[in-house]
Chains A and B, each alone.
Chain A
Amino acid sequence: MNGTEDTRFPRWRAASLLRNRAFLTVLIVALVWIVAAFAKPGFGSYGHLRYLLELAAVIGLVAIGQTYVVIAGGIDLSVGAIVTVSAVGVPLVALSGDSSGAFAVIAILAAATGIGLLNGLGVAYLRIHPMIMTLAMATFLQGVLILIAGGTAISAQNPLLAWLGNARIIGIPAGVILWTIVSAAALAVLHATPFGARLFALGANPLASALSGVNVQRTTMAVYAVSGLTAGLAGVLVLGMNGQGYVGIGDPYLLASIAAVVLGGTSILGGSGSYAGTIPGAILLVTITALITVVNASAGWRSILFGSLILLLLLLSGRESQRR
């Protein structure tokens, strides 16, 4: 009665694609783009879609860490503040000898990772609920921002940032390329390494994970550190794209990152999901935002339309599977 390969590990079937949230979200993005392109001339132009991807890259980068954290059973409410700290901070750490700006960027990324580590420390060792820990961290960072806001920026622009913000490689914006590379790495780590498996373990059942020898504390620290890092990276990118950072630049990315994660099919309860869904989730969000912008209606109606669209797309992309 030994199981053959097929009964033990059934062959992949095309039909199962239709139950895959990530794939469904991709379909929906495509659908929205096509419909919008017909409804609003100019919306579907190559340049515009490319621009949307560039915007999605920022959300997408923030959402890498957010996806990790959510899969591991937590949530990170400090990503918006970290994006701001990073975008405002790069010019402040610029050194005179650092002509490329690489040092400043690396220093800021290290700082962002450090902030994430602190989050992880609180969650793992002080057993503070992630929402509380990261919310408190965001508040704390606001204090830091008051200190550094308006600090005279020596040079907001450095070559590395300018390149990130403006360069196109074979027509593809550097930001999108950065996003692609980091996404590939993120996906690989999540699905092809023991570390990734630990995240899924942690989110589904931390107690059983601990009893199975998963070092829950260290994994938690690492997860929040990754979230800090990707938020920091997003801050650097957004700084490049805007030419200048300002206090508050990261604010929109908190809810956007969470929405992208959940729209992409990752369970907010932790333990299941994939960054593969978050990617189209992020694109979907910027697309809807752009769509709402070009609709001529009062602010109230636009807000209602935006909410209704999200709800509608959520209905299409599928339901939370029953748990427990």
Chain B
Amino acid sequence: SEADAAAKCIKGDRKAPYTLGWANIYSVPTWMKQTEGTIAAEVEELKKQGLVDKLVITDAQGDANVQIQQIQSMIDADVDAILLIAGSSTAPARVIADACAKGIAIINFDSLVDTDQVTAKINTDSNEWGDTAAKWLINELGGKGKILVLNGPAGISVSDDRRKGANAALAANPGIEILAETNTAYNVAPAQEAVTSLLFAHPEIDGILSLGGALSAGAILAMDKQGRPMVPITGENARQFLELWKDKSLKSWATMQPNWLGGFAAYTAVQALEGKDVPAFVKVPLPVIDNSNIDGYLARAKDFPADGYIFSPYDEKLFGELLAAK
């Protein structure tokens, strides 16, 4: 009954076992494939508990419009919960509101939507990401130096948020000079190309503020190929980058967008459907990788694809704690 329902969108009229829908934006990239792995694993777990009987997955092939269409299909098929990585931070808002009105639990993770018509949003804080990364780099450079800023694709909220997060720290340190900024896909090859050109144009570079994905690996490969001395660089948990870090003894700092956000979203959806109260926003603390714990990550490297991401360990206990934290 309605009274039991605590979380948003939940009407309490749905009974286990549930059908979960994962509205993926693009299932081809390795990060997505790893994320799908954590969802599938969690769903297996939940199936054993008799809570879930089916997981349906759609792939919008990178097209936010197709994603809307597929979410509509999920509504039509009356799934019990939708897990969503949004292809656009605004576009799915209306179709999500429709789903919410139908009592479907909506757990939005990784790429978030600018609407509150969802059961829960699960993510790390992109602003904090940019902020922490910038502070680490500024600290490393002693508040003075010339840097490059590597951003993800233009026009995407995540990359914009990370960059905005870095603003305050950069503004507070006038000694830091931004030589150039780039926007590329979160991939090695385009980053390597861009950084190579920038290295030629700027003979003196003291640090690189790289805001995600495989950008850092691309930057290091570019410097290495030119025989330039390595400079402090921020990054993410891409396996290739972590291996280069160790290999070239870099001064680095990395954080991550843990792939288990997916598994966590599946867990949260079921909790919400089961009538548990879940917070509207679950802020997942950013795990930090630095010289103190990098070996631990690299020790597990072989369990991850060569072009994949080494994420921190997780279990249902961690999920429970994250949900409990207010």
Contacts and interface: CB of A to CB of B under 8 A. Distances in A.
- Residue with the highest number of chain A CB atoms closer than 10 Å, among B180, B198, B307: B307
Interface string B172-185: 00000000111101
B306 A247 contact: no
Given A153-B306, A246-B307, A296-B180, A146 B27 contact: yes
Contact of B214 (A142, A146, A241, A246): A246
Contact of A294 (B61, B180, B302, B305): B180
A247 B180 contact: no
A246 B226 CA distance: 23
B221 A242 contact: yes
A299 interface: yes
Size band of the interface chain A makes with B: 35 or more
Size band of the interface chain B makes with A: 35 or more
Contact of B200 (A42, A145, A249, A303): A42
A149 B30 contact: yes
Contacts of A7: none
A242 B28 contact: no
Contacts of B201: 40-43, 294
B190 A252 contact: yes
Contact of A290 (B34, B197, B221, B307): B197
Contacts of A152: 302, 305-306
Contacts, number: 104
Contacts of B305: 149-153
A40 B305 CA distance: 40
Nearest to A296: B180
B29 A149 contact: yes
Nearest to B218: A242
Nearest to A45: B200
Interface in A99-154: 142, 145-146, 149-153
B192 A242 contact: yes
B313 interface: no
B70 interface: no
B196 A51 contact: yes
Contacts of B194: 293
Nearest to B305: A150
Contact of A55 (B30, B193, B221, B306): B193
A115 B192 CA distance: 29
A244 B28 contact: no
A60 to B, nearest CB: 15
Nearest to A249: B189
Contacts of B225: 51, 166
B188 interface: yes
B27 to A, nearest CB: 6
A244 B307 contact: yes
A70 interface: no
B155 interface: yes
A268 B198 CA distance: 34
A174 B154 CA distance: 34
Contacts of A290: 193, 197
A194 B169 CA distance: 66
Interface string A37-60: 000111101011001000100000
Given A40-B201, A150-B33, A153-B306, A244 B188 contact: yes
Given A43-B200, A249-B189, A293-B197, A243 B155 contact: no
Contacts of B302: 152
A261 interface: no
B30 A242 contact: no
B197 A48 contact: yes
A198 to B, nearest CB: 35
A230 B309 CA distance: 31
Contacts of A215: none
Contacts of B196: 48, 51
A40 B258 CA distance: 40
Nearest to A48: B200
B127 interface: no
B64 to A, nearest CB: 17
A10 interface: no
26 contacts: A41-B201, A47-B200, A142-B28, A146-B28, A149-B28, A149-B29, A149-B307, A150-B30, A150-B305, A150-B308, A151-B305, A152-B306, A153-B305, A241-B189, A242-B188, A244-B306, A246-B307, A247-B29, A247-B30, A248-B28, A293-B182, A294-B180, A296-B181, A299-B154, A299-B155, A300-B154
Closest 5 CB pairs of A and B: A299-B154, A246-B307, A150-B305, A153-B306, A48-B200
Interface of B: 27-30, 33-34, 61, 154-155, 180-183, 185, 187-190, 192-194, 196-198, 200-203, 214, 221, 225-226, 240, 302, 305-308
